[in-house]
Structure 1
Amino acid sequence: MLTWQDGYRIGEGVKKAEKVKSRLDAGKFVQGIYLLTLSENPANIMDVIPAAMLLQKSFYRICPPIIGMAGDKEEALEMVRCLVDEVYRQTGTFQIAEYIESQKI
């Protein structure tokens, strides 16, 4: 099963978010959905992953905790921009992981 951050963000383009989440947890295909995760690469802050990638069982097992779900790639990128902006305004840093953990966004 996937790990979802408490209070994960849902973009306006996601229709029936709970149904989409259930399908993703079950390993089923969901078209057009993009997921935001914290990056495991220290050179990056976050990753935007097409939900279709989860069909690969190896990727499904190692998927980092999901912090957001968007209805398309543009919305996902806008969610990333808004989150980075929010973190910087609140903390003066780009420590996204620490901010998310403290806020339980």
Structure 2
Amino acid sequence: MKWYSKLYVGDSIAGKAGKIKWKIRHRAGTIDIYVISFASNPENLLDIIPANELMQRGYPKKHMKVIGLAKGYEEALQVVTTIIEETYQNTGDVDVWNYLKEKRRNSL
């Protein structure tokens, strides 16, 4: 699992992102936390995954790229909306993958 360097984080967990990332990496319990990643299905833009699912040993997370965290499904939807709106405002398209790759490259 790889983490986006400029992780999008919901307002309710803004100061806790580091601790939550640690818990997810070490398979510690996380209550009502959702991970936002690039879609596993090419028909979709992003996936919203309950962090507890990532605790399962067989979960396919080796190539997962996490771009956001949120507390609660509603907040996860808000974070996804923010990502897509930002992408569209800056590119006129919804190609989140290329937008975030370019944004990261320009910030180095």
**TM-score, length of structure 2 as denominator length:** 0.88
Q: How many Å separate the matches in 2 of 1:36 and 1:79? A: 8
Sort the Cα spacing of 1:99 and 1:68 in 2 relative to 1 into closer, same or farther, 3 A.
same
Counterpart of 1:11, as a letter, is G
Unaligned runs of 5+ in 1: none
Distance 2:70 2:59 in 1: 19
SS at match of 1:5: strand
Q: Residues 1-105 of structure 1 correspond to what in structure 2 (within 5 A)?
A: 2-14=1-13, 16-59=16-59, 61-62=61-62, 64-104=64-104
Structure 2 spans left out of the alignment, 5+ residues: none
8 Å contact 1:13–1:72 — kept in the other structure? no
Q: 1:55 to 1:25 in 2, by over 3 A?
A: same
Q: 1:28 to 1:86 in 2, by over 3 A?
A: same
Deviation at 1:8, TM superposition (A): 0.9
Deviates more, 1:8-17 or 1:80-89: 8-17
Q: Give the Cα–Cα distance (whole angstroms) in 1 for the partners of residues 23 and 82 of structure 2.
A: 27
Q: Secondary structure at the match of 2:11?
A: coil
Cα RMSD, aligned residues only? 1.6
The answer to which of 12-21 and 84-93 deviates more is 12-21
Q: Tell me, yes or no, if the aligned pair for 2:24 and 2:55 is still in contact at 8 Å.
A: no
- The aligned amino acid for 1:8 is L
After the TM superposition, which segments of 4 or more aligned residues of structure 1 sit over 2 Å from their partners? Answer: 60-63
Distance 2:88 2:20 in 1: 30
